[in-house]
Amino acid sequence: MVNLETRGHYSEYMAKGVRYALKETGLRQWPESTIVIVHGAYQPLADLDEILGWPIYVTNTPSSNEFGLAFKSYEEANYGLLKAFNEYLDIAPLEINDD
């Protein structure tokens, strides 16, 4: 089960990624249709139904990141937000210590 502190770390990390992507793309607003894709039921986020108001879905698709974001295709085609968000995941890896 994800405790409040761990949930807060994920929320803060995702929010930083969103701000980075908005800055990189020049947009002012993030799409409301966003969903979180968790890569494996064993990931901590798989214990949650939502985070930052976004629903969480679990998949068994392999990935180098424990989660990713998705939204309606016309939003990605127009803005490249996922590319910028994924760039943030690569340059600022998530570090959570469950001490």
pLDDT in tens, 35-70: 999 998 888 899 999 999 999 999 988 888 889 999
Residue 49, domain member (yes or no): yes
Torsion sign across C-alpha atoms 85, 81, 56, 48 = positive
Residue 43's alpha-carbon distances to 31, 40, 52, 77, 83, in angstroms, are 25, 6, 17, 29, 22
Residue 97's pLDDT is 66
Residue 99, domain member (yes or no): no
Residue 96, domain member (yes or no): no
* Number of domains present in the structure of the chain: 1
Domain that holds residue 51: 4-91
Show the tokens assigned to 27.
Answer: 């947009």
Q: Are strands 67-70 and 50-51 parallel, antiparallel or unpaired?
A: unpaired
Residue 31, domain member (yes or no): yes
Mean pLDDT of 19-32: 92
How far does CA 70 lie from the centroid of its chain? Answer: 8
Residue 69, domain member (yes or no): yes
Residue 98, domain member (yes or no): no
